[in-house]
Structures are given as C-alpha cells and as structure tokens.
Structure 1
Amino acid sequence: MLDQLSYKDKNTFLQNVHTAAILTYLAALLLLPLILAHPLYLLGVFLIGILAVVVSDAAQECLPFLVMGIWVAVFVMILNPLLVQNGTTVLFYGPELPVIGRLRITLEAICYGATMGVRLMAIILAFALYNAIVHPDKVTGLFSRFAWKSSLVVSLATRMIPSTARDLSNAREVQQMRGVNFSSGGFRERLKKYSWLLEVLLLSSLEGSLATAEAMQARGFGSRRRTCYNRELVRPRDYLCFLSGLSALIIGVYARFAGYANFSYYPQLDTLAAASDLIWLGVIILCLLLPLILSWGWKHWPYLRSKI
C-alpha cells in the first residue's frame, strides 16, 4: 500500500502542468460531485475522472482506492433502501422489523443510494488522482510563499510516514539476518522481539530529527527572507488547464443554483434528462475534457508539445 502512496514521476502531461493549475482542475473534480445532485452530472464527472486516470497512466496507483470506493458504494447502495422508507414507488414489502417497522423497498431509495455511491467514488477518485499526479514538494513549495511555517510542518509530517516505514523494514531485515525469527515463540517472546524494533525506530527517528535540524540551521532557515532554488514556469498549457477547471467549477455552481443540475428523489423521481440540463452538462464535460485532449496531443503530437 505504501507504493501506491508514493509519488512516481511518469512525465505525463498532467504531471508537467503548473501546480496551481492542476490543483484547480482537481478541485473541480472534487467539488463538483459535492455541489451537484443530478445523477447524470455525477456520472459524467466520475467518467471524466476515470478518463483522467487512463490518460495519466495512473491506473496502478488509483486502482486500490477505486476498489475500496466500489465496496463502500455498494454498501451504501444496499443499506440506503433498507433504512430509508420514503418514496412512492414500492418494489417490495418485507417483514416487520423491531425499530424500522415494515420493510419497504422503494425505487426512489434505490436510485438515491446508487447516486450517492457514484458521488462517493468520484470523490475518492479525485483524491487518488491528486496522490498520483501532484508532486507533494511542489504543493508545499507553492504554499510556502505565504505560509512557510505551516508548509514546513506539512512537509515533515508527510515525509515521516514513508521514512518511518522504510526504517522499520530495514531494522526488521537486520534483525532477521542476525537470526531473529519474529513469527516463532509465545506472545511475550514475540512482544520482546518487536520491542527491539521500536527501540531502533525511536533512535533512528531522533537521529533523523537532529540531522534535519542541523541541515536547516546550516542553510540559515528562518534567518531572513527565503529564496527559491527552482521556480515553476507558467506556460500556455497551464493557463488552459487552470481556465478549464475554473470554468467547469463556476458553470457547475451556476447550474446547481439555477436549477439545471437539481434532481429530486423523494417522494417521486424527477425527469432524468431535460434539454436544458443536458446543455449545461455538455458544457461542463467539455471544460473538463480540455486538459485530457491536450494530454493526448502531448503524447502523440510532438509539435503540440513544443508549443504548449
């Protein structure tokens, strides 16, 4: 699982976009499922997320999160019709239950549970995409310009988990080479063996903290205004990705409050597809598709890569 949590540079288009632009695009993929209620809008955003995973060559990193999201979504889809008794279209009458009463399975409850499952998978997929295509150092570097103390704390905290896991694995391998078998013996004996690992891990963490503090002091951290060794260039592709994500988010908010992206599940289902709903859905999909089309051109058209 730690391999999926680590960033892998594959030199894809979305990985080469400016950090602010790709964060705006991912924010649209995250906030649109939270804002919109229409099932077609939610399904469209989810499919765009799937396509973004494919074009970013991040299927291996995102698949465990997507599988987890599918299981949770199926659980929600099954649980909601059992607990929610609202809806006028009754599909099945069940026995009397102690707290709920007589079991009523309605079409509206099933549709609402399925829609919430799609929303949940879209949100999980947005976080998985962030983990796969956004470099954590670039994010902390972006926010360190106006919140350098908080960025330092976040950077050290995110570095702690993989470094601690690596130190623990190394200590375990060293103990095994010395003849320690962690799977043999009783509970107290195995607990004593693992306590050795905790001692080694504590010592290595303290030594790492001292080394980090000495390195920061040698570089004059906090003594004066910080400098930046590497600056991200702003290119035409960055403007296009930033505007596409921001436009999709603004249009989604407008469609939601204007009533085009609303959908009522109870007490009876609304009409699924009106002409005005489909128009705004198409505009949002086109905005979200623009970076993915550029990603395809980046991969197959060297001339376009040189221009953007």
Structure 2
Amino acid sequence: MFDQFFYQDKGLFLQSLHPVAALSYLVTLLVLALVFTHPLYLLGLLLVVVLAIGAIRGLAVWEIYLRLSLGMMLPLFIINALLAHAGETLIWLGPRLPILGRLTVSLEAICYGAVMGVRLLIIMSVFCLYNLIVHPDKVLSLLARFASRSALVLSLATRMFPAMIRQIENIQEVQKVRGVDFHAGTLRERLPRYADLINILLLSSLEDSLEIAEAMQARAFGSGRRSCYRRDTWRPRDTLCLGGSLLALATAVYGLIGGYSTFSFYPQLDYLVKGPMTIIILIIIILSLFVPVFLSWGWQRCPYFNAKI
C-alpha cells in the first residue's frame, strides 16, 4: 500500500535524467509556484506538473496527493473568504461576531483563496513528481561529494521509513501464517498482538543496524578518500532539460521585473491579461517546462530519437 509513495524504477525517460537536471527542473517548478500569483501562470504550471506525472505513469499516486490537497484547500478557502476584509466587491454581508468583527465575503477574497489553493496543489504535486523521478541515493550521492558523513546519515534516515514499512508487512505475513489474526477480537485483545509486532520490529531493526555497521567496517568507511561505486553520465537529454529549466526561470524573472506576470487581488481584481507580453511570456515558460515531457513522448515512440538523446 505504502510502496507507491516511494521511488520505483520503471525504466522511463524522466527517471533516466541526471540528478542535477532532474533537481533543477523540480526546483524551477517549485520556485515558480511560490513566486507566481497570476492565475493563468499557476494553471499553466499545474498543467505541466500533471502532464509530467502522467509521463512517469504516476497519476494513480497523484490522485492521493490531490485528495490530501483538496482536504487542506477547502478549510483555507472558507477561512480566507470569511475573514479577509480587504476586498471591495462585497458578495455577502454577514452578522457581527465578537473579536472577529462582521463577517463579509468578497469576490477578491474568494479568488485569492482559490488561487492559493491551486498553488498548494502545485507544490504538493511537485513533491509527488520528485518521489516518482528522483532516486534518493542519487541525490545523496551528490551531497556525499561535499559532506560524506552527513550524506550517510541522511541516507540512513530516508531509507528507515520505507524499510520499516516493508519489515512490518513481512512480520505480519509471518504472524498470519502462524495463525495470528490482527483484526479479530476487541481492541483490548488486539493490543498484545500489535505489541508483539512492535517488539519484533525493534529487534529486527537492531539486527539491521549491526549489519550496516559491519558492512561499513568491512568497506573501511572513514579510513581514506571516498570512492564512487556508480557515476551518472551527463547526456544530451540532460542538457536540453536543464536549458529548458533555466530558460523558464530567466523568462519568469523578466516577466516579474516588467510586471507582465504579476497579479493583484486587493483591493480590486487586476486584469488577467495586461498586454500581449503576458501571453508571450506565459507561452515561453510553459513550452520551456514542457521540454522533458516532449522528450519523454519522443523517447517512447521513436527508437532513433531515443538513441540520440
């Protein structure tokens, strides 16, 4: 059940990217989601992220993130609509409450809450995309070049939770074979069974830690310069993806400085399209961020294109 939240090697294009290129792409998406407040730009980012998740065949996992995001978006939307009093276009004038004052609902507050909900969904989707395309060990290997001991601690910490989930599932299967039913009986009757499960989990975790320590000692960890077991190759696909990310980031900075991609909600809603540059900058950013998705499409359908990149 929980395995789908962790990285799974599917042999797809986005998973074959160099860690630097993949992280640059994800960081660009995250930064743009945090910087932009324009509805059209945020909707464009959401479209890019969803198509990228579809290219990695992770829409089933993304649906879970979508439900979590919607569960957080709805309360924020309601609270902002009722408590934000900066909007001038009033839709509903409610009663006066102690401390909170008069409840009002304005068009600006509704739009602002909806746009911030879309931003939250994009951020959650970017983290979902990160879990789908970036191998944790590859990311930590980049850090290990500068701080090997810190990278080791992070590597052990990141693998602890998925390893414990797998151990719990294995222990439960063994216990079920022995006739233990974790769902039968009252809560008081089930607690000793789960206590035994946790006890076995702790014992197996201690044994795993001893095995890791023996493996580190056998490989002479910390005795000299760190060696590298696997090196990631930089290929043309990585250059194209990194170039697209940098182009999108530079175009976004230009649009923000020029005011073409900005949008104000209060005291009145701004114009969605302030001129042709608003649409031109949006198209350039979206096409630049679409580069990995286009390459993934060509990589799956054209063997010659696959060999060249």
TM-superposed CA distance for 1:36, in Å, is: 1.3
TM-superposed CA distance for 1:306, in Å, is: 0.9
Would you say the 8 A contact 1:56–1:133 is kept in 2?
yes
In the other structure, the counterpart of 1:44 is 44
Letter matched to residue 224 of structure 1: G
Letter matched to residue 5 of structure 1: F
TM-superposed CA distance for 1:119, in Å, is: 0.5
The range that moved more, 4-13 or 218-227, is 4-13
Q: Tell me the distance in 2 between the aligned counterparts of 1:4 and 1:183.
A: 24
Q: Are 1:293 and 2:294 matched, yes or no?
A: yes
TM-score by length of structure 2 reads 0.94
SS of the residue aligned with 1:123?
Answer: helix
Q: Tell me the distance in 2 between the aligned counterparts of 1:301 and 1:193.
A: 55
The range that moved more, 146-155 or 3-12, is 3-12
TM-superposed CA distance for 1:165, in Å, is: 1.6
In the other structure, the counterpart of 2:211 is 211
Letter matched to residue 176 of structure 1: K
Alignment of 1:47-126 (within 5 A): 47-126=47-126
SS of the residue aligned with 1:266?
Answer: coil
Unpaired stretches in structure 2, ≥5 consecutive residues: none
Describe the shift of the 1:69–1:186 C-alpha distance in structure 2 as closer, same or farther (beyond 3 A): closer
TM-superposed CA distance for 1:117, in Å, is: 0.6
TM-superposed CA distance for 1:34, in Å, is: 0.4
Q: Tell me the distance in 1 between the aligned counterparts of 2:153 and 2:160.
A: 11
The range that moved more, 11-20 or 205-214, is 11-20
TM-superposed CA distance for 1:179, in Å, is: 3.0
TM-superposed CA distance for 1:184, in Å, is: 4.3
Would you say the 8 A contact 2:111–2:265 is kept in 1?
yes
The range that moved more, 205-214 or 268-277, is 268-277
Q: Tell me the distance in 1 between the aligned counterparts of 2:297 and 2:153.
A: 37
Describe the shift of the 1:50–1:184 C-alpha distance in structure 2 as closer, same or farther (beyond 3 A): closer
Q: Tell me the distance in 2 between the aligned counterparts of 1:118 and 1:185.
A: 44
Letter matched to residue 308 of structure 2: K
The range that moved more, 187-196 or 16-25, is 187-196
TM-superposed CA distance for 1:78, in Å, is: 2.4
In the other structure, the counterpart of 1:11 is 11
In the other structure, the counterpart of 1:256 is 256
TM-superposed CA distance for 1:98, in Å, is: 2.8
Q: Tell me the distance in 1 between the aligned counterparts of 2:190 and 2:158.
A: 30
Question: Which whole-Å deviations, capped at 9, do the CAs of 1:154-194 have from their partners, x for residues lacking one?
Answer: 11111111111222222233333333333445555433322
Letter matched to residue 287 of structure 2: L
Would you say the 8 A contact 1:62–1:132 is kept in 2?
no
Describe the shift of the 1:17–1:186 C-alpha distance in structure 2 as closer, same or farther (beyond 3 A): closer
The count of corresponding residues between Structure 1 and Structure 2 is 308
Question: Which whole-Å deviations, capped at 9, do the CAs of 1:258-283 have from their partners, x for residues lacking one?
Answer: 32221111111111112222221121
The range that moved more, 170-179 or 290-299, is 170-179
In the other structure, the counterpart of 2:305 is 304
TM-superposed CA distance for 1:82, in Å, is: 1.1
Would you say the 8 A contact 1:61–1:132 is kept in 2?
no
In the other structure, the counterpart of 1:245 is 245
* Percent identity between the two aligned chains: 51
The range that moved more, 74-83 or 263-272, is 74-83
Would you say the 8 A contact 2:14–2:56 is kept in 1?
yes
Q: Tell me the distance in 2 between the aligned counterparts of 1:167 and 1:253.
A: 47
In the other structure, the counterpart of 1:284 is 285
SS of the residue aligned with 1:91?
Answer: strand
In the other structure, the counterpart of 1:23 is 23
